[in-house]
Structure 1
Amino acid sequence: GEFRQGRFGTAMTLYRGLDGAKAYRPQTPVPPFPYEVEDVDIPHKSADITIVGTLTYPKETAHTKGTVILISGSGLQDRDETIFEHKPFAVLADELTRHGYAVLRCDDRNFGESTGDAALATTDTLATDIESELAFMRKHYPQLTKKVFLLGHSEGGIIAPIVARQIGGVTGLVLVGAPSVKGSEILLSQNAAIEEATTGQPQSPAKRAAMEELIRLATLPGDSTEVSKRIEAYSRANASILLPSELTEEMREQGIKLITAQMSNPWIKHFLTYDPARVLDIASAEYTKHPLPATLAIYGGVDTQVLQEVNMPLMKELLGVNGTGSRNKVVYLPEINHIMQRAIMGTPNEYGFLDETVAPELIQTIKDFLDSL
């Protein structure tokens, strides 16, 4: 069958095993908590939608170190960024709040308790949601927002610097598994890495060429209907290259539909052509209204979705981390996968088998950076 998480899809094989076996997730926080927990309803600054989330903050608000707003990765996510019963944002919120920070985490628009339409949303659209969250916090919780930090995971690591450049007054950014190259290169590199890790064989030149053609067709002019038609036609004609040969006819048809759906929505067209380097470059002449705040970028050595070897060198260059006096940092954690766990393979089909939700060394790296500001 297939597993789908937001806009990502991968083949999945099920095996008969223990009925009703409960996943072991020891880091998931459980009450009672030694801090305040509030549900918040946040009006969007321009759209007629409500963003719903959870705010946690120390009981002694006067001693709060600042507010951290968590920004999720691609696809529709709940406020805990739940995947395979892991709740990484709940873990981060608990750890950071116990350490003295207020933390806001929200359901994505049109998911969980948040309203709105996500069908036409792009990365830029989602950035306005975070801007609304930031404005809400500054208006209603001024005692918590003397310092504000944005922590973006995956696509959230693209959104965070956009918001900081647009709004200003952000003290620092934490970017975990964040792209520094165009979305087209992200897609090509992750597709090849996951295929090689799963099959043990390098991706074939024919498969690479087929993926490049899908990207070209997805970014040509035309509305979603036109894009969908040409993606489906190409996928059907090249199914033997794009899909595993052992699939049944029914699974092959599902695969074609999955590729068509993934490659013909407004979000993917924007993502494939968007260049995050324009916003991340500290020397950029395009974004002069607000400078990029102090930034920490973290990359995992076994991340097969945003590969460190593709993204980390450019991120270092853009942030000027090799220059003297730079406040920016790029940290490499060799055992970390894309969703912040210590892992062996780093492929998505490993995520659910790991008990750990967020690696302690990653949490400590974030705490140290925030405290330094």
Structure 2
Amino acid sequence: MTYIKGAFVFVFALFQSCWGYGQLLNESWKGHINVQQTQLPLIFHLKQNQGRWSGTLVSPAQSSGHIALDDVWVEGDSIRLTVRKLGLSFTGRRTKEATIEGVFSQGALRSTLILDRFIEKKRLRPQTPEPPYSYDTINVQFKNKFDETRLAGTISKPKGRGVFPAVVLVTGSGPQDRDETIEGHKPFKVIADYLTKRDIVVLRYDERGVGQSDGNYTLATIGDFSKDAMAAVEFLRKRKEVDASRVGIVGHSEGGLIALLIAGQSSVKVDFIGLLAAPTIPIDSLMLLQAYEIGRASGMSRAELNRAKVINRRNFTTVKSNLNDQQAYEQILDNMSSIFPEPSQHQRNEFKMLVLPSYRYFMRIDPVPFIQKIRIPVFAAFGTRDVQVPFAPNSESLTDNLPEGTAKELKVYTGLNHLFQHAQSGSVNEYAELEETFDTDVLEDLGRWIHTLN
């Protein structure tokens, strides 16, 4: 995922019952939920087979490709969808031939959701590897020993005998599959393919609660995801094809933050880390910059940007504070009162998302003290058009805070966005339109650098 964690909700649902107007549902449907004044698109792909419905949901602006979902109640024109382990539901009614109107809810969030019939544009993803591969792939499972969560992934390894350097790929925020699928792109599959062809073993895995991995994503914190990554490193190091003295983590976005935290704490033996658009400044400062840059790229005026910045700063300070959740929520209501003097229930529910324990945990993270303790080699890549992890402050923080004598290669790539695509504005809306999945210069530099390590 590529998104730094915010108060966004990721949703999943499955139509598996017959509807009175079922023949009209055997296709794709698209709608948007409103989260913190941002429209989050959702696409349902539905099909009927021998009277039974099945389908997938895609949150294209967020992550995780096509997700198979569960539970449907249907009566006449009405429908109710639930996903038990994520605590979400959608209740709707078909109001027109090509429209379903209803309400989506998850936890404290409630949002109107109108689904319209949708014909998905066929997009090219020429970098996505297709079998047969020139290397071996093995589906594996391993456990996080801290809470016994079983995780599933894929190892890709060079053919033939011998031992090779190895990396664990750690995804960004949001419920990510092992390929870090977003907008039809599969960046981790592209990275794994490139590195494996250059004699590097790669393990990539589904995050907890996603794909074939166990666990509950919505209840997890970055601490849980860090322990999952540690388990992956320990599992990979024991493989017979792996050089146990050259095992590292390559993390994208929040995955890079996780790599920094693990390396700074020496939580598990890691021989090197690769950081791809990793946050290296306090997270509340990062989120303030991110909101500003995303707003700027979307066309907000300078006055609107500055006004939003002031309110966001107040909200993030409140989220980080020692106020209890109810006190923090009331303070956020006061912070927002100049814009929403009488907030609707939907808006109140959105504000409550800011005081979720996992979000408050995340917002309190400051990676700088961890960076200052890193003693292993570091590779870091940033793009100049990244609006989610702006390159200047984050690259500077690494330069300023990595201990003197630490082996490092820090690179900034002109014109690349948060996904390391060549972009015009860097806006998140460009991700789907660009055919490129991942810049080959970054891949070449990363692969070469790993092989320089002894």
**So what's the TM-score if we normalise by structure 1?**
0.84
- Displacement of 1:215 in angstroms is 0.9
Matched, 1:29 2:129: yes
Matched, 1:315 2:398: yes
Q: Distance in 1 between matches of 2:218 and 2:300?
A: 36
3-state SS, counterpart of residue 330 of structure 1: strand
Give unmatched runs, 5+ long, in structure 1: 242-248, 285-290
Residues paired across the two proteins, number? 345
Kept in 1: contact 2:382–2:395 (CA 8 A): yes
Structure 1's 17 and 117: CA in aligned 2 closer, same or farther, altered over 3 A? Answer: closer
Structure 1's 40 and 230: CA in aligned 2 closer, same or farther, altered over 3 A? Answer: farther
Aligned to 1:212: 313
Write the deviation string for residues 263-291 of structure 1: whole angstroms up to 9, x where unpaired. 2222321222211111111xx4xxxxxx5
Residue of 408, 412, 417 corresponding to 1:328: 408
Q: Distance in 2 between matches of 1:95 and 1:11?
A: 35
- Displacement of 1:117 in angstroms is 2.3
- Displacement of 1:337 in angstroms is 0.6
Aligned to 2:202: 103
Structure 1's 234 and 115: CA in aligned 2 closer, same or farther, altered over 3 A? Answer: farther
Superposition pairs of residues 198-277 of structure 1, within 5 angstroms: 198-199=298-299, 201-202=301-302, 203-222=304-323, 224=325, 227-228=328-329, 230-231=331-332, 233-234=333-334, 237-239=337-339, 257-261=349-353, 263-277=354-368
Superposition pairs of residues 84-95 of structure 1, within 5 angstroms: 84-95=183-194
Kept in 2: contact 1:235–1:260 (CA 8 A): no
Write the deviation string for residues 2-47 of structure 1: whole angstroms up to 9, x where unpaired. xx99744643699x99933212111111111111111111111120
Residue of 238, 242, 245 corresponding to 1:144: 242
- Displacement of 1:228 in angstroms is 4.8
- Displacement of 1:326 in angstroms is 5.1
3-state SS, counterpart of residue 164 of structure 2: coil
3-state SS, counterpart of residue 39 of structure 1: strand
Structure 1's 348 and 20: CA in aligned 2 closer, same or farther, altered over 3 A? Answer: closer
3-state SS, counterpart of residue 316 of structure 2: helix
Aligned to 1:355: 435
Structure 1's 201 and 236: CA in aligned 2 closer, same or farther, altered over 3 A? Answer: closer
Aligned to 2:139: 39
Aligned to 2:39: 11
Which one-letter code corresponds to 1:28 in the other structure? Answer: T
**So what's the TM-score if we normalise by structure 2?**
0.70
Q: Distance in 1 between matches of 2:135 and 2:323?
A: 51
Residue of 117, 132, 135 corresponding to 2:216: 117
Structure 1's 305 and 327: CA in aligned 2 closer, same or farther, altered over 3 A? Answer: same
Kept in 2: contact 1:57–1:102 (CA 8 A): yes
Aligned to 1:304: 387
Structure 1's 58 and 191: CA in aligned 2 closer, same or farther, altered over 3 A? Answer: same
Which one-letter code corresponds to 1:213 in the other structure? Answer: R
Kept in 1: contact 2:275–2:378 (CA 8 A): yes
3-state SS, counterpart of residue 237 of structure 1: coil
Structure 1's 274 and 20: CA in aligned 2 closer, same or farther, altered over 3 A? Answer: closer
Structure 1's 17 and 353: CA in aligned 2 closer, same or farther, altered over 3 A? Answer: farther
3-state SS, counterpart of residue 149 of structure 1: strand
Q: Which of 111-120 and 26-35 deviates more?
A: 111-120
Structure 1's 173 and 61: CA in aligned 2 closer, same or farther, altered over 3 A? Answer: farther
Identity of aligned residues (%): 28
3-state SS, counterpart of residue 339 of structure 1: coil
Larger helix fraction of residues: 1
Q: Distance in 2 between matches of 1:190 and 1:61?
A: 46
Which one-letter code corresponds to 1:300 in the other structure? Answer: G
Q: Which of 169-178 and 354-363 deviates more?
A: 169-178
Kept in 1: contact 2:237–2:247 (CA 8 A): no
3-state SS, counterpart of residue 190 of structure 1: helix
3-state SS, counterpart of residue 310 of structure 1: helix
- Displacement of 1:105 in angstroms is 0.6
Structure 1's 361 and 119: CA in aligned 2 closer, same or farther, altered over 3 A? Answer: same
Which one-letter code corresponds to 2:309 in the other structure? Answer: R
Q: Distance in 2 between matches of 1:96 and 1:191?
A: 33
Structure 1's 30 and 269: CA in aligned 2 closer, same or farther, altered over 3 A? Answer: same
Aligned to 2:79: none
Aligned to 2:258: 159
CA-based RMSD: 2.7
Q: Which of 267-276 and 331-340 deviates more?
A: 267-276
Kept in 2: contact 1:6–1:76 (CA 8 A): no
- Displacement of 1:73 in angstroms is 1.0
Matched, 1:181 2:286: no
Structure 1's 104 and 198: CA in aligned 2 closer, same or farther, altered over 3 A? Answer: same
Residue of 229, 236, 248 corresponding to 1:130: 229
Which one-letter code corresponds to 1:78 in the other structure? Answer: D
- Displacement of 1:359 in angstroms is 0.7
Aligned to 2:180: 81
3-state SS, counterpart of residue 218 of structure 1: helix
- Displacement of 1:191 in angstroms is 0.4
Aligned to 1:287: none
Superposition pairs of residues 36-75 of structure 1, within 5 angstroms: 36-62=136-162, 64-75=163-174
Which one-letter code corresponds to 1:302 in the other structure? Answer: R
Superposition pairs of residues 192-203 of structure 1, within 5 angstroms: 192-199=292-299, 201-202=301-302, 203=304
- Displacement of 1:237 in angstroms is 2.8
Which one-letter code corresponds to 1:221 in the other structure? Answer: N
